[in-house]
């Protein structure tokens, strides 16, 4: 744990981000190798009641779901030999695909080079989640356009498909399959009257992306995750910074052969920086810092993995040095410009390296 001097500096820096209009409040967790260095909070979690962000405040993690849930569960499926080879074509599990989508692989989906579009637009209403999934699979197959050059396009659709693949492999819904992480869970998150009375599972408020924004507290902001009932392969997780930090710490241990659930062999098969299938900054579901204008800043090393969440969340870890930063916020709030966080976050990460990590 960090001493009072570091804590005071970090809290002041978070307050600077709030004053600059990056978000109403922040929750930050830092880690180094096998150790968590602490959780730091600033600002408010609810822009109507002005209640403060606390250590136990839950945030909509948006696309952090891709690594925390989907990639994590795929690693588990590989280790359990439910997936024999990530290079197997999708027709292995979806034999009804008739387009060239059938010949794309799990690796193609993970590295956003399958040719699927960025977003699924046809979210029609049906009586059940199962009917929605059948419709989704039919639509992406019928509308698939094969491109021989296999361009890289960041695709939520690909991760929606990966989430459905996991559900088929385990014959469980994602929310039930994922039910092994503390301080992380799929939405919707609506505390009971009893838990509210005890002050448990308080949830940060965020505006919806509708033309006339609604206040969301526990309902996922992403419309496609909402369409699937709150649990999808690309979005839907809620959690706390310490929940993400604990996951990152366990991933670090697994990579170095000290994990309790995943082996180093399995973990290193996914986190292989010399992988020939790497596309752009993507690494088998993870993101890595881009060479210019990275949201991770300029100080993270070449062996860094992570991801961003559209709501205003981020996680970065140098898997070799074990430096970890989880920064959670909800950047969609009245009077704020959401892009402000994107402009200020890289410098904040650099400051953490210069003023905290380098002095430990």
| 340/217 same-domain check | yes
| 190/290 same-domain check | yes
> What count of Cα atoms within 13 Å lies in the side-chain half-sphere of residue 296?
24
- Structural domain boundaries enclosing 60: 4-68+185-359
d(CA 180, CA 170): 14
| 107/166 same-domain check | yes
Q: Which of 121, 143, 176 is the last residue of a domain?
A: 176
The DSSP secondary structure of 297-351, one letter per residue, reads -S-S-TTEEEEEETTTEEEEEETTT-EEEEEEE----TT--THHHHHHHHHHHHH
Q: Report pLDDT for 198.
A: 47
Q: Report pLDDT for 182.
A: 87
Q: Is residue 201 part of a domain?
A: yes
What total of structural domains would you count in the chain? Answer: 2
Q: Is residue 75 part of a domain?
A: no
Q: Which of 176, 203, 221 is the last residue of a domain?
A: 176
Q: Is residue 115 part of a domain?
A: yes
Q: Under 8 Å CB-to-CB from 305, ≥6 apart: which residues? A: 67, 271, 283, 286, 287, 288, 316, 317, 319
Helices 156-170 and 129-142, interaxial angle, to 10°?
130
Q: Which of 126, 149, 176 is the last residue of a domain?
A: 176
| 59/156 same-domain check | no
Q: Is residue 74 part of a domain?
A: no
| 201/258 same-domain check | yes
pLDDT by 10-residue block (mean), the chain, 360 residues: 89 98 98 97 94 96 98 98 97 98 97 96 96 98 90 96 98 91 89 52 92 94 98 97 98 97 97 80 95 94 97 98 98 96 98 95
Give the tokens for residue 271.
């986190």
| 205/325 same-domain check | yes
Q: Is residue 78 part of a domain?
A: no
Q: Report pLDDT for 279.
A: 66
| 296/199 same-domain check | yes
206 membership: H or E segment, kind and range: strand 206-207
| 122/147 same-domain check | yes
| 287/227 same-domain check | yes
| 164/287 same-domain check | no
Q: Is residue 76 part of a domain?
A: no
Find the CATH number of the domain harbouring 275. 3.40.710.10
Q: Is residue 242 part of a domain?
A: yes
Q: Is residue 118 part of a domain?
A: yes
Where in 96-194 does DSSP place strands (E)?
184-186
| 191/172 same-domain check | no
Tell me the Ramachandran region of residue 43: left when phi exceeds 0, alpha when psi lies from -120 to 50, beta otherwise. left
Are 114 and 101 spatial neighbours (Cβ–Cβ below 8 Å)? yes
| 110/251 same-domain check | no
């Amino acid at each position: 744990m960090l001493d009072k001097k570091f804590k005071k500096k970090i809290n002041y820096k978070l307050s600077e981000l709030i004053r600059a209009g990056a978000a109403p409040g922040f929750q930050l967790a830092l880690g180094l190798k096998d150790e968590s260095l602490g959780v730091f909070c600033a600002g408010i979690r609810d822009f109507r009641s002005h209640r403060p962000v606390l250590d136990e405040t839950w945030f909509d993690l948006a696309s952090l779901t891709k690594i925390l849930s989907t990639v994590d569960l795929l690693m588990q499926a590989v280790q359990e030999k439910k997936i024999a080879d990530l290079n197997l074509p999708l027709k292995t599990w979806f034999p009804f695909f008739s387009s060239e989508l059938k010949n794309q692989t799990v690796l193609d989906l993970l590295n956003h080079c399958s040719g699927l579009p960025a977003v699924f637009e046809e979210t029609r209403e049906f009586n059940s989640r199962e009917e929605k999934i059948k419709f989704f699979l039919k639509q992406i197959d019928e509308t698939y356009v094969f491109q021989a050059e296999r361009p890289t396009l960041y695709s939520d659709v690909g991760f929606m498909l990966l989430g459905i693949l996991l559900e088929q492999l385990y014959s469980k819904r994602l929310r039930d399959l994922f039910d092994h992480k503390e301080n992380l869970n799929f939405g919707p998150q609506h505390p009971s009257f009893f838990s509210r009375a005890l002050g448990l599972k308080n949830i940060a408020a965020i505006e919806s992306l509708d033309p006339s924004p609604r206040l969301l507290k526990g309902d996922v902001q992403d419309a496609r995750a909402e369409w699937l009932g709150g649990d999808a392969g690309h979005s839907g997780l809620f959690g706390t910074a310490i929940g993400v930090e604990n996951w990152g710490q366990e991933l670090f241990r697994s990579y170095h052969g000290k994990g309790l659930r995943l082996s180093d062999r399995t973990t290193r098969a996914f986190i292989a920086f010399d992988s020939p299938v790497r596309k752009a900054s993507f690494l088998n579901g993870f993101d890595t810092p881009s060479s210019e204008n990275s949201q991770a800043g300029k100080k993270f090393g070449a062996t860094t993995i992570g991801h961003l969440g559209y709501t205003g969340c981020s996680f970065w870890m140098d898997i070799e040095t074990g430096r970890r930063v989880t920064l959670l916020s909800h950047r969609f709030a009245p009077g704020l410009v959401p892009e402000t966080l994107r402009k200020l976050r890289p410098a904040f990460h650099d400051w953490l390296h210069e003023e905290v990590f380098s002095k430990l």
